[in-house]
């Protein structure tokens, strides 16, 4: 496997856009990667968007985002109130939000939902991400759940065990409303990180995994044009 490094050439900050349908999606899907980037990638600017959170869930979303984004050079947190479970039927309004968002944000990397996620809200967010941001590096994260829709990701981020355990502990502490769900446990989150670590041959044994549909690699061609 050939490693690549996330950097922001010719600019002082790496700009990230993080898109989640519901509060806890981002933390579960890419929380370990964010913790690692904020600790080791220099100045990182994060625009964090949760599209559906109301009441206690909204409060949890705000607290958790603030916790995960500690150490960011700059951060913006947006919590919207689109109806949970009804995204396909609210497509026009959510599409308008995405169109507004692209006027305000020009990220280097976008984290969004996996396109084949069985949750209808997740799939719509993934589709609109691709419809709206057409010249960006997009990494689709995974969320384990009852639907059993985990696939075969093709991008891996090795993580230190300490970051993995911090991610799992923060999720459990921040999202009290979700603790009654049988799958919502530290063991679930750590198990997936361990499994992806095996697949990535991670030196630490842990990794988060993503799907990348399209990427452009810069190479140096040391031959004359037309040769």
Provide the CATH number for the domain around residue 183.
Answer: 3.40.50.10320
Handedness of CA 154, 157, 160, 162 (dihedral sign): negative
The domain in which residue 146 lies consists of 14-211
Question: Do the domain assignments include residue 224?
Answer: no
The pLDDT of residue 194 is above 80: yes
The count of domains in the chain is: 1
Question: Do the domain assignments include residue 9?
Answer: no
Strands 137-141 and 207-211: antiparallel
Question: Do the domain assignments include residue 62?
Answer: yes
Query: What is the reported pLDDT for 61?
Result: 97
In 3D space, the residue among 41, 40, 48, 43 whose CA is nearest the CA of residue 17 turns out to be 48
Tell me the Ramachandran region of residue 201: left when phi exceeds 0, alpha when psi lies from -120 to 50, beta otherwise.
left
Question: Do the domain assignments include residue 42?
Answer: yes
Question: Do the domain assignments include residue 49?
Answer: yes
The pLDDT of residue 24 is above 80: yes
Query: How much is the mean pLDDT over the chain?
Result: 93
Query: What is the reported pLDDT for 5?
Result: 78
The pLDDT of residue 205 is above 80: yes
The answer to whether 51 and 94 are in contact (CB under 8 A) is yes
Strands 137-141 and 109-113: parallel
Query: What is the reported pLDDT for 6?
Result: 75
For residue 49, give both structure tokens. Answer: 């968007």
- Tell me how far apart the alpha carbons of residues 126 and 131 are, in angstroms, rounded to a whole number: 9
The pLDDT of residue 227 is above 60: no
In DSSP notation, 3-20 reads ------TTSS-EEEEEEE
Handedness of CA 127, 133, 139, 141 (dihedral sign): negative
Residue 32: Cβ within 10 Å count: 27
Question: Do the domain assignments include residue 100?
Answer: yes
In residues, how long is the chain? 227
Question: Do the domain assignments include residue 221?
Answer: no
Q: What is the pLDDT of residues 25-83, one digit of tens each?
A: 999 999 999 999 998 867 899 999 999 999 999 999 999 999 999 999 999 999 999 99
Query: What is the reported pLDDT for 183?
Result: 93
């Amino acid at each position: 496997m050939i490693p690549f490094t996330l950097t922001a050439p010719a600019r002082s900050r790496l700009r990230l856009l993080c898109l989640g349908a519901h509060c806890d999606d981002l933390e579960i899907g890419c929380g370990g990667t964010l913790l690692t980037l904020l600790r080791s990638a220099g100045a990182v600017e994060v625009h964090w968007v949760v599209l559906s959170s109301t009441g206690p869930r909204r409060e949890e979303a705000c607290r958790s985002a603030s916790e995960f984004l500690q150490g960011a050079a700059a951060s913006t947190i947006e919590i919207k109130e689109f109806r949970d479970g009804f995204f396909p039927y609210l497509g026009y309004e959510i599409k308008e939000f995405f169109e507004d968002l692209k006027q305000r944000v020009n990220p280097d990397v976008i984290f969004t939902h996996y396109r084949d996620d069985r949750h209808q809200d997740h799939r719509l967010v993934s589709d609109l991400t691709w419809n709206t941001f057409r010249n960006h590096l997009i990494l689709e994260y995974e969320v384990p759940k009852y639907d059993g829709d985990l696939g075969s990701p093709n991008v891996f981020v090795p993580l230190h065990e300490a970051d993995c355990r911090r991610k799992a502990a923060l999720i459990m502490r921040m999202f009290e409303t979700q603790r009654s769900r049988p799958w919502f446990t530290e063991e679930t989150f750590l198990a997936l990180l361990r499994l992806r670590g095996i697949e990535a041959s991670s030196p630490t044994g842990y990794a988060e995994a993503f799907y990348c549909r399209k990427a452009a690699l810069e190479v140096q061609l040391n031959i004359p044009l037309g040769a």
